[in-house]
Structures are given as C-alpha cells and as structure tokens.
Structure 1
Amino acid sequence: MFTNYIKIALRNLVKNKVYSAINIGGLAVGMAVAMLIGLWIWDELSFNKVHTNYDRVAQVMQHQTFNGDVKTQGAVPFPLGPELRTTYGSDFKYVVMATWPNGHILSAGDKKLSKVGAYMEAQAPELLTLTMRRGTRASLTDLHAILLSESGAKAYFGESDPIGKLMKIDNRFDVKVTGVYADLPHNSTFSELAFIAPWDLYFNNESWPEKTTNPWRANMYVAYAQIADHADMDKVSAKIKDVKLNNSHKEEAVFKPAVFLHPMAKWHLYSEWKNGVLTGGRIQYVWLFGLISVFVLLLACINFMNLSTARSEKRAKEVGIRKAVGSERGQLIGQFFSESLLVVSIAFLFALLLVQVLLPAFNVLADKRLSMLWTTPSFWLLGLGFSLLTGLIAGSYPAFYLSSFQAINVLKGTFRVGRLASIPRKVLVVIQFTVSVTLIIGTIIVFRQIQFAKNRPLGYNQNGLLSVPINTAELTGHYDALRTDLLGTGVLANVAQSSSPTTAVWMVNNGFEWPGKAPGVQGNFGQVLVSHDFGQTVGWQFRAGRDFSRSLSTDSSGVVINEAAAKFMGLKNPVGEIIKQDGKPYKIIGVIRDMVMDSPYEPAFRTMFMIDYTDASRFTLRLAPTAVPSQALPAIEAVFKKYAPASPFSYEFVDQEYARKFGDEARIGNLATVFAVLAIFISCLGLFGLASFVAEQRTKEIGVRKVLGASVLNLWGLLSKDFVFLVIIAFGIATPIAWYFLNNWLQQYQYHTDLSWWIFAVSGLGALLITLITVSFQSIKAALLDPVNSLRSE
C-alpha cells in the first residue's frame, strides 16, 4: 500500500514539473537558511563551552560611580587577586591575575613573529582546562616558563619537540618552553592566545609609582576566578562586593567601587552594561536571527501549503473516481500525506546539499568556523522532526478536506469550490510579504546606521595615516633619532608617538581639579600622552588656542583638551586656565574639536592630551601627499629595521583600524541582506506558482474576454490586481511593526540615524515592483493565448 502511494506521488511530481520545482526549491532554500542560521546560533550559544568548568568560571569586574553615572569595567588593580585568595579563599578554587591578551614579539633563534599572548598566574591552565599536547598544566610554575599553543609551537619548531627550547618575549624576557596546549576553537574568548607566560615574570619587572604608594588605584589588569565546587556564583559575587572599597584610599572610595563576578557563560552574549545594569549584548542578534530563520522557514512552508491546497482542488474528480471504485477515506488521507511527506523529504535532502555547498561562503560572511553537525543527534532530530511536521501540516488540507467529498457530487459535476476557499491562501500571501517588507526595511536601516556613523566628522584626518605598534624595547628611547630618519626617507610628512592609538583611549584618570569645580564632582578624564608632533601628524582641528611647540619649554606642563572636556568643566574661555592632577598644575593651551577615538556610535569622551615621551605604545605616521604606499612602506620598514633589526615590522592604516569598529554591525547587515533577498526569492516563487495556477484556472474566462475585445493590458490588470492589493495590505501591516522594532534597536546608540519616511516608501514600492514583475510573466503569457484554443479546450 505504502509503495503504491509513493509511486503515485512520484508520478504527480513528474507530471507537474513546474509546481514540483517551485515546491521543492522554495522549501529547500527555506530549510537551508534555517540550518545555516541554526548553526550560527549553535556556535553563539556554545561559546566558551570548550572550557570544561565554564559555568563556574567568571571574570572579576567592577562598577564605579562617576557623578551619579555607574560605569562598568573589566580592568582591576593588581592587589585584587591576592586579596580574594586571602580573605575569601574558601569561596574560590582558583583566582588568576593576568594581563590583557595582546600582540608580542616572540622569538626562537632567528625566527621572530608577532603573536597574541598574555602573562597569567600559574593556575591559569587549570582554570581554562587547557588540553595539553606536551608537558602538563602545572608547567607554568617556573618563573621563566612559557606555554605555546599547538599551532604556535609548529610555527617555530615544525614537527620537532619544542619542550626545553629557549625563546624570548619582546626581546626582553628569556623563557623556556615547558608545555604545548591544543589550539582553542574559534568560539572561545581565548582563541587567539598563542602563548601564556608567567605573571610574576612580567609583574616583578614592571615599575610604576602607584605600585607601592597606592596599589588599589590603577585598574590595569584582568582577573579570572573559578568558584569552589560548593559555592554559588551569585552569593560569592555579593560577598566580594566591597573588597576594593574596603582597601581604597579616600580619594578612590568616592567612586564607590563595587566588585562582582561576571560568569564566563555570559561573556560573549551578555556584555553590555548601562548604569551598572546588564542590558544585553550579542544575545539580541541571536534572537534576531532566530526570528529570521523562523520567518524564512514560514515563508517556504506557506508556499508549500498554498500550492498544495491550490493544486489539490483540481484533484476533486480524482477523489471522486477513487471513492467510486472503493477507496476508503483513510486510504485517501494516507495518499495525500504520503505525497506531502515525499516532497518535504526531497526538499530536506536538497537543503543538506545546499548548506554543505554554501557553508564556506557563509563562514566568510559571518566570520565563523562552522561545520555540519553530522554526528550530533539533536541536528537530525530537529531536521527530521521539522520535515515530518511540515509534511503533516501541508498535507492536512487536501487529506481531510478533499477526502470528505461525496463521489456522486463530484462525478455529476455539481461540486464547486466555495468562494471563501481562496481566503486562507490570500492571508498566507499577506503574511509572506509582511515578513519580506519588514526584512527589506530592517536591512536598509542597518546599513543606513552604519553609514551614518561612518560619515560622522572624526575631528582629524585619517587619509594616509599609519599606526605602528611599539612592541619591542628596541624602539623605545630613540624617538628623536628615529623620527629624523623616517622624515629623511622623503615618504613621510610627519611622525609622532602616543600612549594610545588614534582609534582608542586606553587610559582614564581622575584626581583633576579646575577653576569653578563644584564640590562632589568627580573629575575623570581620558588621558593620552603624546609627543610634540602628534597634533600636526593626525590633523587636530583647533577651536581655540594653539598646538604644542618644541620651542616653548613650558609646554611640558601644558595640556590640550577636547570640546567634551571643556564642556564638562564648564569653562567658557578655557585657554590659559590652570588645572591640576593630584596637585600638579597644567596650563590649558588649546581646545580641539572632539576626536572620535572610541565607539563611533557614542559621544566623544572628555580627553586631555599631555606631553610625555616615556610612555608610548604607538608611532603614528603621516604619508607625504605624493607618496605611493606600495613604494613608501619598504622605505619605512628599512628605518624600523635599523633600530630593531630582528623584529618583524607591523603596521596598519588608521582608516582600516577604524573600520573594524563597524565589524559586528556590518556582518549583521550583510547577513540580514542575504536573508532578506532569500525571503523575497521564496515569496516570489510562491507568488509565481499561484499566479500560474490562477491564470490556468481562468483560461476560458480570458478567452471569452479577448473575444469580447479585452486588450492585453486589461487582462494583465485583471490578473495582477488581486496580488497587488495583497502586497499593499502587507505593506500596511509591516510598516508599524518595522518602525517599532527598529526604533527600539536604534535607541541603543546615542549617535544614530532617523527612521525617515522614504525608507518605508522605497521598501513598499520595491515589494510592489517585485510583485508586478513576478506576476506579470504569467499574466501576460495568459493574456497572449489564442482564445480559439482556450475556448476549444475541455
């Protein structure tokens, strides 16, 4: 019996090739999109799960209150780790102090490469549950040890055993390889970590005044902790709240530091804070793409159900004959369900093939390392479960409705499909285009927001600006000589150094006083230490005053502030005013236009620029107007090699460095565009099939109208108007839905675009145009038919 059902189903598929292709193709594309999004969501939700104890590991963070506004940060002072171990030791299994992962020059013999690494306390490998390929997790206890990632070890030593080999970090520390750990996957926070070196090796060799005078003031490091097996994360977090407050000096206590644990399970998806409250993060994109996958799948199912029900009405006579020769209703229901399940099964197989083919391109687009979960049972359960459910739902209408026909009415020709039979199909078409129009509007808004931020005035000139990290001690202490040699190449217009790149403010300090400062106001400012030439190099735009001058020795105690700083201090004429930091006086010599150094979506932070040559992390180079980058870079590299001959020369154009700030939004926009296009494609497939069915149904009517003088244009309008009307209804529903959700999304950015009316108008007109193009093919084809053939046919 079942074999017979399958044979009949296959014959129907072959007989109706166009409808079969539309049904299978649309459903396969919808399933493929859902699978790709599902893999993306799976990767997001499984972030950091490679670390066995990830549900018990946390980063120790802190809230601080500045002028009533609570700020949250991950940087903490170095005594925090020892204090937690001493005072709250029973609540923690491990507490690990570390530096932030950063680029370092790691060398072995003559081979020197730039690798991301961090200095961590000895228990870090246990906390991160590293899988050791060679050595043990305990091998970081040696002060001069180093652990390499598997790929890092291979880059330096090939297939030979690296254990015991000597290396050097930043041409500064001699270390010996004591262990090799397996590379961490792309969906781990520490995926780029190529080496781990002992914390004491770094910390014992650092010297800065507050290390001994006020060690709880400087928030420079990161702390990780694993709570004890018997402990509760929330209770421990509440217990350690005042650990920094109880140890801070009076001037730090006014910021009300509150220490807490941020679980590793939330690092990736929940990382945005507003006024001390966790407000979300990438989880919003998980929900967004989850909804998109549901809607795209819904569009494909709507197509399937629409075409299945539409075509099933033509099979009424078949049902009548089957009943007349003895078929029972249960057998007819089984037949229709078998056909439906066969189509869905074929579509599922095509979807698997599509995903396998598209996955490499999708990985590039989404910046992922996804692969098919062939060996994961839940993947197959979800896929097969969905296929079964879709087949049952789509086959339910023809199975239960058509099987209920009375054979005598159908065969006598008295059976007529009711006028309301098409209403469910029209409702489903409206739903399809509501989703499609909403996706179109959303895609436009995302890209408009990105462009809005990109076109924001930067306050300096990025063109021809290079950033060169100072990642070796050989480049420090030679600024004037190095600058002279660089300018001597003729390819550079200017050279400067600074403690932060132009695309970030790495240091925020407090303890500032200024004329008219109100009691209780906390004066925390971004602080960038620069050379005299920094302003000329980046292209500062002055609102008042002047730049630093080498000819004026007093400028060593001068300061240039941005507009945000002047506004915060309430200084109407700031030039010439004296401000103090921890009692040391500085004279404001200039006010510059706000530079966009941090988030392009947020207002510029109040920042001060001061002369200091002892704490530099970057060289900033301005190419000469006539210089060709491909010719200039070798000349620049030669100069750097002169001072650091064995270190690799690394650089980045500032505009590219700045563009990375749009990475997440750009990827989301690109993915949304792809999904919107696919949603429209699926909707148009269904529309094409329905238009074809309607034209086929009305063949005789078209013939009669042509005989009576109707033009092709009249007939085109007759067949198209119903679909146009449905799209207009869909647009009316989609507009308020899109406005509500997109307006809420934009509000998370302080610097954002507006929801202009033309975006909705263009989206609606676009959907209407797509509809007309899709429907017109079948409408015009039907209108051009010879009426003689139309009226002669049975």
Structure 2
Amino acid sequence: MNVLYHFHMTIRTLRHNLRPTLLLLISMSVGLVTFILVSGYVSYEQQYDRIFPDAENIYRITTDLYSDGKLQISIPECERDMGSSLKKTYPEVTEAGFLAQASNPQYKIGENIFKDTKVYFASPGLLNIFSFQLLQGDRSQVLTAPYTVLLSESTARKYFGDENPVGKTIVKYPVFEYRVVGVYKDIPKQAHFHPNMLLSFHNQMHLPPPMKAPWGETDFYTYLKVHPGTDLQALEQKMNQLAMAHKKDYFEKNNQLHVYHLQPLKDIHLHSHLKHELQTNARADYLYILLIISLLIVLAVGLNYIHFSFTRALNHASSTGLKKVFGANRRTLIAQSLTDSLVIHVIATAVAFLLCMLLLPFLQKQFGITLDFSLHNRLFWFGLGSILLLSIIINGVVPGYLIGRFRSLDLFHLKYKPLMPGISFRQLFVVGQFAIVMVIIIGIIGINKQVNYLKEKNKGFNLENTIAIKVPQNFRRTSQSINNLDAFEQDLLQNPNISGITQSNRTPGETAAFNFSFAKKGTEHSGKAAVLVAGVHYLKLFDIKLLAGNDFEPHAENVDEGCIINQSCLNFLGYKNSQEAVGRVLKLTDESALQNIELKIRGVCSDFNFQNIREHPGPMILFDWTKNMIWGNYFVKLKQANIASVIPFIRKKFQATFPNYPFEYLVLNDFYNQQFYKEYQLIRMLQAFVLVAILISAINLFAMAWFIAIARTKEIGIRKVNGAKVSEVMTLLNKDFIKWVAIAFVIATPIAWFTMNKWLENFAYKTNLSWWIFALAGILAIGIALLTVSWQSWKAATRNPVEALRYE
C-alpha cells in the first residue's frame, strides 16, 4: 500500500512541477543516450575475437627483431615451421595454424576479373583453431593439396550465385588455377581478420623460395591453441630455444636475434598495433577516453537531478514539514525520493532507448561504429544496469536525506536561498559540469591541432598531385600478359598534364618490407632496414633530397647497379658525412639466408616518413630493380590538382597494356592520411560529446537561474524601486555564475594539460599545447554560461517592480 502511495505522490508531484520535470527528463535522456551509445560501442569492441570457441586458450606468435642487441621492429608474424614444430614437440600445444598474405591479389572467375586483398595462404590447422564451419567440403582434406581454395559463404554467393562452387576454377593472376574444394561460413564481424578466400600452401606450388623455406622469412601469422593452465612463460622460452636450434647460424652470422612472444587472441583488436597487422585495430586508450567522458556526462546529469530534487523540495518544504508533523520520518522521505528517482529514470531510459534506435543508422554512417544491444552482450547490459541502479539509489537517497535533516518546524519557514555561506551544492554542480565541458573542448582542440600538425609537417617527400596506379607485382616486363610496357610509359609522359612517372613495390602509407638485414662489408655491425624498390626518377618525383652521390640512371643494364640509403641508415653505419659512404659496399641477407646480396652505395638521400608520420624514420635502403621487372605500383605526378581529368586517359592506356587486370588508382595524399582515421573518428565523437555536455549544463544553468530569479524577486524589486538599472540587476544575477565558471577553468586546465601531454607521448612529432587552447575553452565556457543565464536575468530585471514587491 505504501508503495502505491509513493507512486501516486510521485506522479502528482511531477505533474505539479511540469516545467522542471521536463527539463530534468531532457537532461537525463540526453545523458543516458550518450552513455548507452558509448557503452554499446565499447562493449562491442571489447567482444572482438571472444566469439571463437575456447578463445581464452588461443594465442598469436609475435616476433621482436633485434640487431646488435637493439630492438628494430616488432611484428605479428614468425617463420612458417614455428607453429607446426611446437605442436610436434610440446604436448601443451594442441593445435597450430598460419595465415600468409597472398601477393598479386587479382583473380578471374569466368570472364569476371576482380581484386581481393583479403585472400591468404592458410594451413589446415587454422580451420581447427578458429572452428571454421564448413558448409561444403571434407574437413579432413581441404587445404592439403596444392592449388586448392576455400571460399567464404559470401564470396561463393557473390561470384557463383546459387550454383555449387565446389570443383570450379579460380584463376589467380596471371595463370595459376585454383580448384574450389569447399565453402565456409563467414567469420563474424567481431574478429581481427576476415578472409574471403583461403589458398592452400604446399611445397609443390610455385612460390618464392624464401617463402617456402621452413625457417625462412617471418611472413606467417601463426596461431596456437594450448591446454588450459599452460605456463606461457615456459612455452615462450621453448619457442625461443626452438628458433635458436634452427637459426643459430643465421643469428650469429648476421648479429641478429629474434625473440618470440605469445599474444592472447583477446588482446589483439584493442591492444596490438604492430607493423603488418592483418587489419587496422581499435585503440583501447581512445575507447577509455570516450567511456570516461560518457561517465562524466552521466555524473553531470546526476548532479542536475540532485539539484533539481533538492531545490524542488525546498520550494515545497512546508508540505514536507506537515508530513513530518503527521508522523513521516526520514526513512519515509527517502522512500518517496527513491520512488521519484525510479520513475524519472524509467521514463528517461525508455526515451533514451527510443532515441538510440532512431539515431543508430546515422551514427553508424557518420562515425563508422557498430553497436550491439542484443541480449547476449552481457557486458553492456551489466554496465548499463549497474549505472542505472547506482544512479537511482544515489539520486534518490541524497535529496531525501538532505531534506530529512531538517526538523518539522524548521521546514515551515525553510526557503530556497540563492546565496549561502561557504560552498553550496549548486556551486559544486556548476563548477563540476563546466570543468567537464572545458576538458572536452581542450581535448578536441588539442587532438585536432596534433593531427593537423602531422598532416602539414614536412614528411621528407611530396605527395601532392600524385596518384598510384596498381599493376601486376613481381612480373617480367616481357611477360606475355603485358602488352608493350614501354609504350605505356611513353604515352603517359606525353600527356601534357603528367610531369613524371616512376615505379615501386610499396605505396607511401603502407609498411615497407623488413625482411633483409644489412651490414657494412667487413664488419659485424648489422641492422634491420626497410627495403624499397624504387625506379628511376623516384627521388625527383617525390622531391626527396639527394645529399651525396648519384640517383639511379635511366636505361641501366645492371639490375645490381647499387643502392641509395637514407640519412638514418647512414647514421647507423657510423659514417660522419654523406660523401664518405658513397662507394662503400653493403651486405644484405634475407631471413631465409637464400638471398645474399652485395650492393654499392651509390647515393645518400634525406629521411622521409614512408609509412608513419607518428614515428621517426628508421634505416631505409632503396634499389632500382625495375629494369626487367614491374613491382605493383606506377606513381604518376600531375601538373595540376585536377585528377579526374586525366584518369580516363590513364585508364584507356592501362587497359590496352594490362588487358586482364582490373584498373585501380589511389590518391596518395588521401591514402597516406588514412593513418589518422582513428583520430578523426575520436574528434567527431568528442565534438558530439561537447554538444551533449553543453546542452546538459545549459539546462542546469537555465533552471538554476530560474530558481534564483524567483528566490530574489523581492530583492530585485526593491533595488529597482531604488533606481537600479537593468544592466546592474543582470550583473548582480550573472556574476556568481561567471565566478563559478572561472573556478571550473582553474580546475579543468591542469587536468586537460596532463591528459593531453600523456596522449601526445604516443607521437614522435608533437605539437605544443599553446596557451590559447586553454584560453579559448575558458572563453567558450563563459560565453555558454552568459547566453544561458542572461535570458532569465533579463526577464527578472525587466519585471515590473510593483509585481515583484507583491511576491511575498
């Protein structure tokens, strides 16, 4: 009965206080929408790779590559036989399997020519580790024979429709025919890799010898499934001992060392950012930033609720005093307050979910995020339920406790006092909310400033007005699949809008190959370098400075005519000046030890950030092996920025030269700047957050100014009768809010400064946190406060003083 009475009183109270109730519902709904969307996004990202059975016992092998005792690079790959050897040797390893990237990602089915970069060589063990569900094919036989392929369900449907693809042929450019032996169910979205096709890997296949070497190149993404409770440190030691047994001579001869680690499968998506990742992973630190800010917004909403409830209780203190006279105790008042809180939260949560459903398509398109509100997402529902329960209890208990402290007789003359000695609750509310707003504003400006700084920073080379044309890789220029390559190059150069062309095996923004160690001939001092095939005019086309020696020469006959090293490589070799290195001989050895090359240093160029502007450039070696081969990329420099005008011409020439190859081009500036995608995504989300925080703060300020104006009505009337101007009254009502915002600025500045400095530590090149960033955030916050409060202040200041004096 008491419960029904409390609900009846809650509905009655909310109806009689419709305006503040609506403001409170808007504030709570907006805050809950933010938390629901962010927590849904964060929980979705945290569930990556947990969808695989026994995921907690699956690990990926990563490799740290050392030269001269110094870490050169960390990669998520290892040698091909590492996994299978571990399974054969150590019983705690129950299964092993690998993936390896397939080169030349061009395929043909019938007359359909297409490109697919999500095609990998795979071992049969991979299917068992990740519990691939075969829809067609014999699980014990697939991927065991050479030149066979498994298709994902969506790929099979895309290219074969309802026809059974098993037994069909897929041509891998240019002439390798793969027979379809099965179809597997698509891997769920919440996985760190999504292969469309899996190719068999067999020693009888035509593959590069270094790749087929059992303990050769570290090109294989290798996964292990281990027994529960396995001592992982001990297993890592065994891995390193196993590698040393097979590669000791290579390590000692080249002064190299590989150190292997086991990376939990569940950590890959959020915590792994190694070179050569299978796909771009999320950043856990960015997710935590979003989650913390959403919790701060929920806190701001809670402060709003407490302030609203307590102020409303003060305005109706006499009725509360009457209840206490008739026997209501503090427990009864808290129970009523809890009921109010429950009803408000239920309504706000229902409205919030409705808004989320309406906003979901827009958010997924705008921010590129996926959310999961399904019942099996226990993490999301547990987090949301905990926050709601905590909010209901705190927001219900605190106002009831505060009003319950007063004695019955005191409540009859208790009123809302706009000015209180010491620190009042409303001061804390305003300070806390605007500190949150300013921290978010400073964060947005700081992150945006850093990203723009990196984009505009001199990368060491010029990508403006340059496009990459994708062509076959590792093909001889005289291949029968290519029609008159010389004519193709000459025709491009004759176009009046094209100023130059060159070749390379990598596109700026991609990770260069690190499969060679290098050393100065006659010394043991060796290191790992990024190696890059660079054609004639490469340095000129990208405006890379030649510091000493000569560039590559056109029409040279010898493919081993020498190499060009960058400044970092020069420093690593210990030369004091660039000219001193010219003519010296470098030894290059690949990890399979099958390729041992000696090249003269013909030139030294300046450093350039080929892959990642976040890091300092490392040693890089360029050599021109384009005299007899093509390497996957033609770079075309345009005289004007109008790329669209020249694409039809290039496409026509391309199709005549590569008749069975799909035409594809990249705008290099856009492709290179994709590395900032996560930062752009974070900025867009923070911009939405600051709008939400401003809205919630504005609602609170609006209501607070309204209550204060009502409470000081008589005072304002007296002041106006005595000659006070409207501007003086508005200043009187506004000055406290400005003071509170100033205090919030003092609190927010060191917090934002510390947070931004910690974030900037992730970058080798970082912008300065200029004073104007903090000043701008403070000015914006004061502007928001003035705009919100001044409306109520103006209404109170322009009110007829006669009406004001009749107020009490």
TM-score (ref. length: structure 1):
0.91
Q: Is the 8 A contact 1:57 1:264 kept in 2?
A: yes
Please say which of residues 319-328 and 631-640 is displaced more in the overlay. 319-328
Q: Which amino acid aligns with 1:270?
A: H
Please say which of residues 356-365 and 343-352 is displaced more in the overlay. 356-365
Aligned to 2:806: 792
Aligned to 1:563: 567
Aligned to 2:499: 493
Aligned to 1:601: 614
Supply the distance in 2 between the matched residues of 1:757 and 1:692 (Cα, whole angstroms).
Answer: 35
Please say which of residues 619-628 and 687-696 is displaced more in the overlay. 619-628
The 5 A counterparts of 1:344-743 are 344-374=345-375, 376=377, 379-380=380-381, 382-403=383-404, 405-411=406-412, 413=413, 419=420, 423-471=424-472, 477=478, 479-488=485-494, 492-508=498-514, 510-514=516-520, 521-550=525-554, 556-569=560-573, 570-574=575-579, 576-582=582-588, 585-613=598-626, 616-626=630-640, 628-743=642-757
Shift of the 449–318 alpha-carbon distance from structure 1 to 2, 3 Å rule, reads same
SS across alignment from 1:98? strand
SS across alignment from 1:75? coil
Supply the distance in 2 between the matched residues of 1:453 and 1:637 (Cα, whole angstroms).
Answer: 33
Q: Which amino acid aligns with 2:529?
A: F
- Give CA deviations for 1:383-423 in whole Å, capped at 9, x if unaligned: 44433432332232442343454444444x47887945971
Please say which of residues 488-497 and 639-648 is displaced more in the overlay. 488-497
Q: Is the 8 A contact 2:306 2:399 kept in 1?
A: no
SS across alignment from 1:261? strand
Q: Is the 8 A contact 1:110 1:646 kept in 2?
A: no
Q: Which amino acid aligns with 1:187?
A: Q
Shift of the 699–421 alpha-carbon distance from structure 1 to 2, 3 Å rule, reads farther
Q: Is the 8 A contact 2:476 2:630 kept in 1?
A: no
Supply the distance in 2 between the matched residues of 1:36 and 1:19 (Cα, whole angstroms).
Answer: 26
Give the counterpart of 1:153 among 153, 156, 160: 156
Q: Which amino acid aligns with 1:356?
A: M
SS across alignment from 2:443? helix
Aligned to 1:52: 53
Q: Is the 8 A contact 1:469 1:617 kept in 2?
A: no
Q: Is the 8 A contact 2:453 2:767 kept in 1?
A: yes
Q: Is the 8 A contact 1:475 1:643 kept in 2?
A: no
The alpha carbon displacement at 1:221 in A equals 2.8
Q: Do structure 1's residue 17 and structure 2's residue 18 form an aligned pair?
A: yes
Please say which of residues 227-236 and 741-750 is displaced more in the overlay. 227-236
Supply the distance in 2 between the matched residues of 1:451 and 1:284 (Cα, whole angstroms).
Answer: 20
Please say which of residues 337-346 and 25-34 is displaced more in the overlay. 337-346
- Give CA deviations for 1:614-637 in whole Å, capped at 9, x if unaligned: 665432332442584323222222
Count of residues in Structure 1 that have an aligned counterpart in Structure 2: 781
Please say which of residues 649-658 and 5-14 is displaced more in the overlay. 5-14
Shift of the 385–557 alpha-carbon distance from structure 1 to 2, 3 Å rule, reads closer
Q: Is the 8 A contact 1:441 1:763 kept in 2?
A: yes
Q: Is the 8 A contact 2:63 2:75 kept in 1?
A: yes
Please say which of residues 501-510 and 726-735 is displaced more in the overlay. 501-510
- Give CA deviations for 1:538-559 in whole Å, capped at 9, x if unaligned: 3333334442222565784232
Aligned to 1:41: 42
Q: Is the 8 A contact 1:117 1:196 kept in 2?
A: yes
Q: Is the 8 A contact 1:512 1:579 kept in 2?
A: no
Q: Which amino acid aligns with 2:737?
A: F
SS across alignment from 1:609? strand
Aligned to 2:186: 183
The alpha carbon displacement at 1:787 in A equals 0.8
Q: Which amino acid aligns with 1:238?
A: Q
Supply the distance in 1 between the matched residues of 2:719 and 2:745 (Cα, whole angstroms).
Answer: 32
Shift of the 389–525 alpha-carbon distance from structure 1 to 2, 3 Å rule, reads closer
TM-score (ref. length: structure 2):
0.90
Q: Which amino acid aligns with 2:251?
A: E
Supply the distance in 2 between the matched residues of 1:593 and 1:416 (Cα, whole angstroms).
Answer: 71
Supply the distance in 2 between the matched residues of 1:322 and 1:111 (Cα, whole angstroms).
Answer: 82
Q: Do structure 1's residue 239 and structure 2's residue 208 form an aligned pair?
A: no
Shift of the 331–578 alpha-carbon distance from structure 1 to 2, 3 Å rule, reads closer
Q: List alignment gaps of at least 5 residues for structure 1.
A: 275-279
Supply the distance in 1 between the matched residues of 2:376 and 2:43 (Cα, whole angstroms).
Answer: 14
Q: Which amino acid aligns with 1:606?
A: P
Q: Which amino acid aligns with 1:595?
A: F
SS across alignment from 1:197? strand
Shift of the 262–402 alpha-carbon distance from structure 1 to 2, 3 Å rule, reads closer
The alpha carbon displacement at 1:767 in A equals 1.3
Aligned to 1:277: none
- Give CA deviations for 1:431-456 in whole Å, capped at 9, x if unaligned: 22222211211121111111111111
Q: Do structure 1's residue 317 and structure 2's residue 321 form an aligned pair?
A: no
- Give CA deviations for 1:493-532 in whole Å, capped at 9, x if unaligned: 32222122222352225553448x9x65323322111222
Shift of the 739–615 alpha-carbon distance from structure 1 to 2, 3 Å rule, reads farther
Shift of the 328–86 alpha-carbon distance from structure 1 to 2, 3 Å rule, reads closer
Shift of the 377–547 alpha-carbon distance from structure 1 to 2, 3 Å rule, reads closer
Aligned to 1:252: 251
Q: Is the 8 A contact 1:30 1:296 kept in 2?
A: yes
Please say which of residues 712-721 and 316-325 is displaced more in the overlay. 316-325
- Give CA deviations for 1:41-77 in whole Å, capped at 9, x if unaligned: 1112111112213222222222222244223222323
Q: Is the 8 A contact 1:409 1:415 kept in 2?
A: no
- Give CA deviations for 1:243-292 in whole Å, capped at 9, x if unaligned: 22222253523222222221211111222579xxxxx9822223322211
Q: Is the 8 A contact 2:568 2:607 kept in 1?
A: yes
SS across alignment from 1:528? strand
Q: Is the 8 A contact 2:541 2:637 kept in 1?
A: no
Q: Is the 8 A contact 2:210 2:217 kept in 1?
A: no
Q: Is the 8 A contact 2:154 2:186 kept in 1?
A: yes
The alpha carbon displacement at 1:475 in A equals 8.1
Q: List alignment gaps of at least 5 residues for structure 2.
A: 276-280, 589-595
Identity between Structure 1 and Structure 2 (%)? 26
The alpha carbon displacement at 1:602 in A equals 0.7
Supply the distance in 2 between the matched residues of 1:8 and 1:422 (Cα, whole angstroms).
Answer: 32
Please say which of residues 151-160 and 176-185 is displaced more in the overlay. 176-185
SS across alignment from 2:429? helix
Please say which of residues 73-82 and 54-63 is displaced more in the overlay. 73-82
Q: Is the 8 A contact 1:341 1:387 kept in 2?
A: no
Shift of the 350–421 alpha-carbon distance from structure 1 to 2, 3 Å rule, reads farther
Shift of the 373–538 alpha-carbon distance from structure 1 to 2, 3 Å rule, reads same
Q: Do structure 1's residue 755 and structure 2's residue 769 form an aligned pair?
A: yes
Q: Which amino acid aligns with 2:712?
A: R
Q: Is the 8 A contact 2:499 2:637 kept in 1?
A: yes
Q: Is the 8 A contact 2:338 2:396 kept in 1?
A: yes
Please say which of residues 600-609 and 250-259 is displaced more in the overlay. 250-259
